[in-house]
A and B are shown apart, each in its own frame.
Chain A
């Protein structure tokens, strides 16, 4: 408020507000980081020593280095889900390759091996994304499965040996007492980026991320740029893998997987915009360290374990909000437009306050009669082209199942199981799919499922009578969760990924507090019968599923809501200008996603007979995968629910086939990734 009174400070403030958004968010990330560092210093016993700094710097280095790679991919408009898996792969390759008997180990050699393995996986991603024009999210998802399988083939359990030389080098001091080595490593990577950024290639990354068509038009080699981006990112993950090997002195095939989601959080907290074109790795590094310091703060403040995910989620939202405080932020815009709307309402100028006369342009009525309905095929050719591959692959999987295991095509149990097991993903696909159609992503699905299931089981506790009021109550809560997501995204302007990721953590905390760690209660007999009983050979949920699918197709294809969703996905600004209430529609979309996740929570509880914490964890990535495999565009605007349903059936049939074989898990993971990749190969865009 003082900025109004003092011109000097006002100039400072305006310069902070008027500087480019990414620079501002980097500065804010640094400020938040320093603030947290001060807080740790303040609440912990002694003053921060060099030793503490050294500890902190090595603790966050792995995720910082990997997040730099992710940032570069995000800058180019991409998305890399394979990052965590690559870290694990490099870790086991190093541990498997090193000779414990060797007296000396070359740090340079093994670093190169690690970065090389990372770059190879990056090149694999890059080929499919750049040259085959496949969507990054589904390519990297497939790669993730394939790499996880490969990692388990290299090493099926934790162990192995990483030479201590590596640890001495990477965790030691560059200047003893002054500069720990991890900071130097990060610094070197950042310097390399700085150099790269100022080359033509660096400009090309930003150009491709901002607008690939425009970039291509001015002569940027879009394909090559995209390819190289993934290779470079792979190199960063490789280096992160080398670092974690040095840090742990051994290998664990699962070590990298949980790093994935926090990596995206680091990217966003650091001020890089998801979708590309804006931001940079410097902010990301601070983002990664901010997230890491939260651990220390929770420890010194002695926050109860149950509340830790709530605290983290809140910090994530606050950090992002702090980064977006400005005149042009969404929140500020919303406030101004609310003010304007209020003013208009007082003057009686709102459209809804005007008299309702039809002001539409008069169309010559004769034209209507002459319209010839085009054939079904030509009207739906695009939908069919994108939806068909999933169904063709499904057919192939069913045939293979029949040949390999027998008892598929003519076996009613097989089809019934397929339908029942598909239910969960099919319902999620409507929610997640609608969100994706608008260009968003809902990461709060796992714990919306979890909390819905836990609440339902807790309230119902085996009584059918209680189901009558428990079911609507739980679904209402799920809607409320979606509503809060929507409000955060629309009104506060938080990016969907951050908002829903934070929401997921907060819900997890609530679920833990509510259940005190062990969810009580169980599903009622009616609900259990609905999911597991049989009428002849059909489980009651199957006809419900058919109705659901019809309703979903109708909702997205035949209602005003559906048309608005596609409108927003195809161009938010255009949708706004054509009079679509974008905000209200978006909030409804997230409410729908919450409702679908809640419904899945209820049905899963019926299926398993009880609810468990983490019951939704296995459904997040598949819910995204089925939508994309079914022909939807992750950036929004394109996709049909029947296509997504095809994706659901395909993935479920594939899993059923793999479960029926006795192939080892590693092989199954690789096969799964390859089939998903093969399915989307058919979806590839025609050369325009």
Chain B
């Protein structure tokens, strides 16, 4: 017994020593090999998140520490499983993942953890306990926006709900939380509901279908996961004046933010409907900086710092009271409270504007646009 335990302890010491040597070695000579496994890059959010991760890796604090490789899994969870396996094989120290499914990756993530790889999930969640998760509280997002809408309508009115991608946790949590709020107010009626797939284009198609048998005048408010920008444009097309726009709780795209600015605000490059018009809105978003923050935390974890398993990001909320136009979009400027960008700089109204985090002074507007870090 005695000898056995001594041997075991000695072995443990040796292991510890050797692993410390390895870490020291890696620090001195080699960069940390970190992989990014994204889902489909075919939408603005994903592209922005990828740009911000790349910018973070290129920042002077990280450029000589991190060797980042980016791979795309498309919408296919099977492929992401395969990809994570291949990344582990290729000697990853950490893997940053946009998880296609919160559950399907559990086994492969556990496998990676067992081999000492740090796994960080951003935006979505991985339920395997060894993974680090960085995301907003989706239920809070659903609840707060629904409460805002109820308050705007004084607890009474017909609303239309445009949800996200059916069968995903994010959509499920947001929609359920919002519906719970609406259920508490019997005078709030959901008169139309459609699946918006988190896309402005789909939101327009679905709203057109709903409005084929309904009139804008029968509707008092909109709760959408993505689509307020489009809904406002449609109301203007239907002949409404900007001051008649319905209150809309929805996404944090820059187009929507610009519309929230009081009419007449000077915003370079604005052309209707991508122009200030004082639209009554609450704008929320899953912030695209979460991937970059995940990378930062991954480096911390590799370097042996204490990182909590779950990082709940503050929910970025902007209302007509807090909306403010940025001049250049530096991190410092955003820290001082600006949260919308000029159309001359951000030409795509679907671009997501919630890019500010206290925790990521390395990245600003240029990071999200072109993958360039702050100085």
Contacts and interface: CB of A to CB of B under 8 A. Distances in A.
Interface of A: 44-45, 52, 55, 59-60, 62-63, 151-152, 156-160, 167, 171, 244, 247-255, 257-259, 262, 292, 295-296, 298-300, 302, 304-306, 308-309, 401, 405-408, 411, 413-414, 417-418, 420-421, 461-462, 508, 511-512, 516-522, 532-534, 604, 607-610, 612-615, 618, 655-656, 659-660, 662, 665-666
B103 A254 contact: no
Contacts of A609: 230, 233, 273, 349
A411 B214 CA distance: 10
B316 interface: no
Given A252-B101, A254-B101, A296-B82, A421 B205 contact: yes
B341 to A, nearest CB: 13
Of listed B38, B44, B78, B163, residue having the most chain A CB within 10 A: B78
A421 B208 contact: yes
A248 B82 contact: no
A160 B106 CA distance: 12
A430 to B, nearest CB: 20
A656 B209 CA distance: 5
A519 B46 CA distance: 12
Interface stretch (B84-92, B277-285, B289-297): B84-92
Given A296-B82, A660-B214, A158 B101 contact: yes
A401 B237 CA distance: 25
Contacts of A55: 85, 89
Contacts of A533: 237
B210 interface: yes
B7 to A, nearest CB: 27
A159 B103 contact: yes
Given A152-B167, A258-B78, 17 more contacts: A159-B169, A244-B104, A254-B77, A259-B78, A295-B82, A296-B82, A296-B89, A299-B86, A308-B71, A401-B213, A411-B213, A607-B205, A613-B41, A614-B40, A659-B210, A662-B190, A662-B193
Nearest to A155: B167
Interface stretch (B47-55, B57-65, B243-251): B47-55
B1 interface: no
A421 B127 CA distance: 40
A420 B211 CA distance: 13
Nearest to B239: A534
B78 A244 contact: yes
B102 interface: yes
Interface in B64-101: 69-72, 74-79, 81-83, 85-87, 89-91, 101
Contacts of B51: 517
Given A249-B107, A608-B204, A655-B209, A59 B237 contact: no
B18 interface: no
A45 B38 CA distance: 23
Contact of A516 (B40, B42, B47, B193): B47
A250 B197 CA distance: 24
A536 to B, nearest CB: 13
Contacts of A262: 76
Nearest to B237: A532
A interface, over-half SS:
helix
Nearest to A407: B213
30 contacts: A45-B90, A55-B85, A55-B89, A152-B166, A157-B169, A158-B102, A171-B107, A248-B103, A252-B167, A254-B165, A254-B167, A255-B101, A259-B76, A299-B69, A302-B69, A304-B70, A305-B72, A308-B72, A413-B212, A420-B208, A522-B347, A607-B201, A610-B348, A613-B43, A615-B199, A618-B202, A659-B192, A660-B192, A660-B212, A662-B193
B349 A522 contact: yes
A662 B192 CA distance: 6
A253 B41 contact: no
Pairs of residues from A and B, 5 with the lowest C-beta to C-beta distance, nearest first: A517-B47, A417-B212, A250-B103, A613-B42, A659-B209
Contacts of A250: 103-104, 106, 127
Contacts of A252: 77, 101-104, 167
B74 A158 contact: no
Interface string B207-222: 0111111100000000
Contacts of B256: none
Nearest to A161: B103
B137 interface: no
B115 to A, nearest CB: 10
B237 A255 contact: no
Of listed B197, B199, B200, B201, residue having the most chain A CB within 10 A: B201
A157 B79 contact: no
B201 to A, nearest CB: 4
B98 to A, nearest CB: 12
B44 A414 contact: no
A609 B74 CA distance: 26
B4 to A, nearest CB: 27
Contacts of B350: 610, 612
A411 B42 CA distance: 38
Given A522-B347, A610-B350, A660-B213, A299 B208 contact: no
B85 A59 contact: yes
A259 B74 CA distance: 11
A518 B350 CA distance: 9
B5 interface: no
B167 A157 contact: yes
A52 B42 contact: no
A522 B350 CA distance: 11
B204 A160 contact: no
Contacts of B347: 461, 520-522
Contacts of A62: 78
B132 interface: no
A249 B107 CA distance: 7
B271 interface: yes
B172 interface: yes
A520 B254 CA distance: 13
Interface string B24-43: 00000000000000101111
B274 interface: yes
A156 B211 contact: no
Given A405-B213, A655-B209, A167 B107 contact: yes
A159 B127 CA distance: 9
Contact of B209 (A302, A421, A511): A421
B71 A414 contact: no
Contact of A295 (B70, B83, B191): B83
B316 to A, nearest CB: 19
Given A253-B167, A660-B192, A517 B46 contact: yes
Contacts of B104: 158, 244, 248, 250, 252, 255
A253 B213 CA distance: 31
A417 B208 contact: yes
A156 B195 CA distance: 14
Contacts of B192: 659-660, 662
A183 B202 CA distance: 42
B154 interface: no
A417 B190 CA distance: 22
A637 B102 CA distance: 46
Of listed A55, A518, A521, residue having the most chain B CB within 10 A: A518
Given A152-B167, A248-B107, A405-B213, A299 B70 contact: no
B70 A305 contact: yes
A452 to B, nearest CB: 14
Given A258-B75, A615-B201, A656-B209, A52 B89 contact: yes
A508 B43 CA distance: 12
A248 B78 CA distance: 9
A251 B86 CA distance: 23
B194 interface: yes
A295 B78 CA distance: 11
B14 to A, nearest CB: 23
Of listed A247, A299, A521, residue having the most chain B CB within 10 A: A299
B201 A305 contact: no
A53 B186 CA distance: 59
A520 B48 CA distance: 13
